[in-house]
Amino acid sequence: NAGVTQTPKFRVLKTGQSMTLLCAQDMNHEYMYWYRQDPGMGLRLIHYSVGEGTTAKGEVPDGYNVSRLKKQNFLLGLESAAPSQTSVYFCASSLAEGMNTEAFFGQGTRLTVV
Amino acid sequence: ILNVEQSPQSLHVQEGDSTNFTCSFPSSNFYALHWYRWETAKSPEALFVMTLNGDEKKKGRISATLNTKEGYSYLYIKGSQPEDSATYLCAFNSGYSTLTFGKGTMLLVSP
């Protein structure tokens, strides 16, 4: 049981380049989330999904797009990377019955935009 | 944007000391309060999910209490060990699909 898997683990991008971060979960969870973690800021929600084919904006969605074509996968896209998007990105998932059940996190992706 | 505050920001204790941290959250529209343990270079892992006022939960030397009416939760660690060194996060849910995280309390336990 792999849980939540993120790829890649590390990436360096040049300003203006694009990339997609992949999150995969094998727990049949309905809810999936993308967070970014910056020093002194805690975890901030970028986008989330409450089921296959649905997505919604979180606290800091600008500059990112997401897709949930399959229940087990949640993709985070950066169309034109900016240095302000240098961060550690975490994906998480949870069961459908609201947030009274724990969230499971991936190992994180460290992205540097130069 | 919901305001979830954690204090202290960081804490340095000696092995064997007991310690506690605070998480403050909005007292209205409460649905659940989560505690996570986050070790360096790893991903956050859930400690407790608490939903009822007055809840007390325990896992080994770690326990947590919840007061939804006044909007706070305490996390206690009894007899801290070096392996307890981590950042402890709390997260609040108001009944919608998302969690709002505090900035965490960073605990360092020296041998």
DSSP states along A33-75: EEEEEETTTEEEEEEEEEETTEEEE-SS-TT-EEE-SSTTEEE
Tens digit of each residue's pLDDT (9 = 90 or more) over A91-103: 999 986 656 789 9
Average pLDDT over residues A2-11: 94
Tens digit of each residue's pLDDT (9 = 90 or more) over A48-75: 999 999 999 999 999 999 999 999 999 9
Judge: A98–B31 Cβ closer than 8 Å, yes or no: yes
Q: Which residues of A touch B93 (CB under 8 A)?
A: 98-100
Instruction: With cut-offs at 50, 70 and 90, classify the pLDDT of residue A44.
Output: very high
Q: Find which of B97, B100, B105 to mutate to test the A interface (most A CBs within 10 Å of its CB).
A: B97
The pLDDT assigned to A97 comes to 61
What ranges in chain B are assigned the alpha helix state H? Answer: none
CA distances from A4 to A7, A66, A85, B56, B104 (A): 10, 17, 22, 29, 22
The pLDDT assigned to B98 comes to 86
Enumerate residues 6+ apart whose C-beta is below 8 A from B42: A107
The pLDDT assigned to A18 comes to 96
What is the least distance, in Å, from the CA of B110 to any CA of chain A?
A: 23
Instruction: With cut-offs at 50, 70 and 90, classify the pLDDT of residue A17.
Output: very high
Residue A69 near chain B (CB below 8 Å): no
B99 pLDDT above the threshold of 70 = yes
B29 pLDDT above the threshold of 90 = no
Residue A56 near chain B (CB below 8 Å): yes
Average pLDDT over residues B66-83: 96
CA distances from A95 to A20, A47, A87 (A): 24, 17, 27
Chain mean pLDDT for chain A = 93
Q: Are A113 and A11 in contact (CB under 8 A)?
A: no
Amino acid type, B2: L
Burial A73-102 (b: 16+ CB within 10 A, else e): bbbbebeebeeebbbebbbbbbbeeebbbb
Enumerate residues 6+ apart whose C-beta is below 8 A from B41: none
Residue A90 near chain B (CB below 8 Å): yes
Closest in B36, B44, B99 to A99, CB measured: B99
The pLDDT assigned to A41 comes to 86
Rounded CA-CA distance A101/A95 in Å is 7
Average pLDDT over residues B83-100: 90
